[in-house]
Structure 1
Amino acid sequence: MTALSSLPLGITMGDAAGIGPELIVSLIHQGLPHPTVVYGDSGILRRAAKALGLEQHVTIVDADTLPEGSAIPEQTIAVRNRWQALPADLPFGEINAAAGRGAYEYLCHAIDDAQAGRIRGIVTAPLHKKAMQAGGIDAPGHTEILAERSNTQDFAMMLANHELRVLLVTIHMALADVPSHITFEAELRAIRLAHLACKQAGIAVPRIAVAGLNPHAGEDGKFGLEEQQVITPAIQAACAEGMHVTGPWPGDTIFMRARKGEFDVVVAQYHDQGLIPVKYLGVDEGVNVTVGLPFVRTSVDHGTAFDIAGKGIADPSSLREAFEMALRMSAAPIA
């Protein structure tokens, strides 16, 4: 069996009308510390190289034409694509059904290859949900597609940068629906996944802090009972399993304490509670991690940026951070 560490990482191109293709071309031109396969459209990547003035500096090839076991040359973009070619005149910065469906198909191809042991992990460039829906795929986003296709039941979204790690109990749902999804099982699952993510990051004894759902973490039941009835019992159960978990802490101070080094990861109760603090620190360094999958998956912490697509000014910093985090996390076995 091929050792995981010797396999290439996979990068999915995301929505062809957005900045994903440019980010990938820029990143590979700059150089990467590990072999890489791109799941996307060769023609779109060539167009991105031209927009960046790099068409003479990068080579785009079909990955499956390379000799098995051979090294991928530097500044070579090795592409895999089992989906149909996209139109050469696909407009930049617009919702397009073909681009949306392509983004979904590239992701599915990468998931299948990761499960088959062809790649070490997956790094995803951004897709556009409305374009994907226009292409016939009604899914909330990357996380849910990854979980469904890999048949993963226990998973969570974690956002990370150099100062914070934040894992979410609930992800893409209306705020009004969140309280009914704050259950003992959901809390304990999120705490376990936060522990796993930190272990994969090389932290021997993760310090996990859990945020309350309500203002002041409920203030002894004055502002809600979720902390007393659900969150605290889940924390106690996690501690009984040997994990170092504290809380529930008020959401308005927990992230500040984590930035100061008191905690290794924060378990947040809902999307905006957890993601606003991370994104406020800057999306260029933020990385989105799906925890619990049978393979490593990281992503940029920004969208398709249709407003600047095709202009050659997109910053690949977040994609580099995502790539390097995937490399670090895939160095450890998936527990």
Structure 2
Amino acid sequence: MSSAEKSAKPAIGITMGDPCGIGPEVVVKALADPQVYSTCRPLVVGNVFAMEQAVALTGLPIKIKEVDDSTVSGTEPGVIEVVDIHNLNPEDITVGEINPTCGKAAMEWVTKAGQLALAGVVDALATAPLNKEAASLAGYKSIGHMELLQELSKSELVATMLMAKNLRVVHLSTHRSLSRACDLVKKDRILEYLQLTHESFVKYGFNNPRIGTAALNPHGSDGGLMGDEEAAEISPAVEAAKAQGINAIGPIPADIIFHQAIQGQYDVVLCMYHDQGHIPVKVYGFEESITANLGLPFIRTSVDHGTAFDIAGQGIAFHESMLESIRLAVALAKGDGMAEF
């Protein structure tokens, strides 16, 4: 492949996820699609044995090839190249069970992939699911992809955005208890996230992104009858953002804002906590929903589902989210923005 052809096809680092879950299976199924190889050069970071087991499980005509991390070609459909840092023995993989040894290995693959992205070896990352309990049992305090990559890259502010079809939702907080999440609904934090969302969406090709800002309380507090966060924190942040030229709208009650976004009134919604954003996205388009991070120095997309231990090893996992996350990583790496999303 010529250098021109390589530049036209970005290298996408794909983490395998927790080997006890459906990660290896959905990665294999996604990379069985020849269209992936027509648009990018995929490189999996994970475990060769687990990937071979996933190939056997799916029955797909695919070969697994171990490569050095400096060898990023990914040019041959039907051959999945894997960077294996040899941190996991085959006998330690317990499919369908929480396993701290596997949780540790999966987190180390994310770290390795992040290092490849920071070094410019890959142009973007697309990640398969981790198991947060397994990572915690392995001693990790940063138990999610975003937190681990934020720490690795020393990024000050990073946000999670979930997407399904035309519904895009940035989260003010993610892996926090509900009581803690409510404590984080403060003017300065909301303004920072509105700024980050605006800057990111301008990069994605939106000239004047319309950012719908969700209320925290039912009915937007009904004039203070059910809380005061809207008047005390959210509205002042929206007004401050407007003063900076950001097209922020809100606060809008959560029971209407996502419908309005689907109808095209907003390019993106800023929600106040994890479930407020996750529920509408997953109801609207569960199988194809994906995640992207704002604020990292490299592109990172992800599936929007968990390790699904209950169906791991059965060959029945849907891979649409993995495929969509690769597609988005490619689009952003090529500078195409979110035109198709």
Fold in common (TM above 0.5):
yes
Query: Is the CA contact (8 Å cut-off) linking 1:212 and 1:227 kept in structure 2?
Result: yes
Unpaired runs of 5+ in structure 2? Answer: none
In the alignment, which of 261, 265, 271 is matched to residue 262 of structure 1? Answer: 265
Letter in 2 for 1:60: I
Relative to structure 2, which stretch is displaced further, 240-249 or 188-197?
A: 188-197
1:134-174 deviation per Cα after TM superposition (whole angstroms, max 9, x unaligned): 32323332221111111111111110011310111121111
Question: Structure 2 matches for 1:1-335, cutoff 5 A?
Answer: 6-31=9-34, 32=36, 33-54=39-60, 57-64=61-68, 70=73, 72-88=75-91, 90-332=93-335
CA distance in 1: counterparts of 2:41 and 2:240, whole angstroms = 42
* Normalised TM-score (structure 1): 0.93
Letter in 1 for 2:139: G
Query: Is the CA contact (8 Å cut-off) linking 2:74 and 2:80 kept in structure 1?
Result: no
Query: Is the CA contact (8 Å cut-off) linking 2:43 and 2:72 kept in structure 1?
Result: no
Letter in 2 for 1:64: D
CA separation of 1:144/1:162 partners in 2, compared to 1, >3 Å: closer, same or farther? same
Unpaired runs of 5+ in structure 1? Answer: none
- Aligned to 2:113, the other structure's residue is in SS state helix
1:211-256 deviation per Cα after TM superposition (whole angstroms, max 9, x unaligned): 1111121222222221112111111121122111110111111111
Q: What count of residue pairs does the alignment treat as equivalent?
A: 331
- Aligned to 1:122, the other structure's residue is in SS state strand
Letter in 1 for 2:312: A
CA distance in 1: counterparts of 2:263 and 2:308, whole angstroms = 32
Two-structure CA RMSD over aligned residues (Å): 2.1
CA shift for structure 1 position 315: 1.0
CA distance in 2: counterparts of 1:70 and 1:228, whole angstroms = 54
Query: Is the CA contact (8 Å cut-off) linking 2:74 and 2:81 kept in structure 1?
Result: no
Q: Percent identity over the alignment?
A: 38
Letter in 2 for 1:264: D
CA distance in 2: counterparts of 1:323 and 1:21, whole angstroms = 15
CA distance in 2: counterparts of 1:82 and 1:213, whole angstroms = 44
* Normalised TM-score (structure 2): 0.91
- Aligned to 2:195, the other structure's residue is in SS state helix
CA distance in 2: counterparts of 1:207 and 1:4, whole angstroms = 32
CA distance in 1: counterparts of 2:102 and 2:7, whole angstroms = 31
CA distance in 1: counterparts of 2:69 and 2:243, whole angstroms = 53
CA distance in 1: counterparts of 2:181 and 2:88, whole angstroms = 40
CA distance in 2: counterparts of 1:145 and 1:65, whole angstroms = 20
